[in-house]
Amino acid sequence: MRDAASDPPALAPLQRLRVQRARLADRMRPPWWYLAGAAIVWAVVFASPFSSRYLPRGVPAWPIFVAAAAAACLMQWGLTRATGIRLPFRNLRYPSPGRPVGIAILVVFLAADETEFLLIRRDPIVAALVAAALAVVAEMPLLQAAVRASRRELRGGGGAA
């Protein structure tokens, strides 16, 4: 167990707080199962456009999105338990370092979804599969960038001095 006495005593309070925030930020590292689970969730989401072609007519695609959202919430809960840090809910209007990444994730999702629908309708299925795979590959670094942005925010003090 580290004790407060182990910190250099000459550190000024703010400098000491910066060191402690860096320690807290270092805990915000997703475990392997978080990234693996996120890849599976994105794969399921980007596979959903194929349901319009291969599922019988009248079967809706929304249960796939609900299941993916439930899995994402479960993973977020697991990440909170694993790191001991629960981040506040951020919408895109909230100014945070992760906002550009959040916008990029949304743009990639919408672009890939539309591209897949277009390709499936015109019948180059292989191209649609490639688009889906590329979308999953693109989303993963963005997710890691979002976690990095959270770490940066914790290290920077989240707007506090």
Partner 1 sequence: MTARPDPLIHPITRLSICGLLAAGADWVEFAALRDAAGISDSVLSKQSRVLEDAGYVEVRKGAVGRRPRTWFRLTAAGRQAVQGHLAWLAQMEQAVSAGARDVRQARPRPGGRVRPPRERATGLAAVVQRPQHG
Interatomic CA distance for residues 110 and 136, integer angstroms? 12
CA 45-50-52 angle, 5° bins: 110
Binding-site member from 21, 47, 51, 71 for partner 1 (CB under 8 A): 21
Nearer to partner 1 (CB atom), residue 4 or residue 66: 4
Question: Are 11 and 19 a contacting pair, CB within 8 Å?
Answer: yes
What amino acid is encoded at 97 in this protein?
P
Contacts (CB under 8 A) with partner 1, residues 111-150: 150
Q: Which is nearer to partner 1, 4 or 126 (CB)?
A: 4
Q: What angle do CA 4, 85, 135 make, to 5 degrees?
A: 140
Cβ–Cβ under 8 Å, residues 69 and 155: no
Residue placing its CB nearer to partner 1 in the complex, 49 or 102:
102
Q: Which of residues 28-57 bind partner 1 (CB under 8 A)?
A: none
Residues 72-101 that bind partner 1 (CB under 8 A): 80-81, 83-89
* 69 part of the interface to partner 1, by CB under 8 A: no
Report yes or no: 138 and 104 within 8 Å, Cβ to Cβ: no
**Count of residues interacting with partner 1 (CB under 8 A):** 39
Interface positions with partner 1 (CB under 8 A): 1-4, 6-7, 10-17, 20-21, 23-25, 27, 80-81, 83-89, 150, 153-161
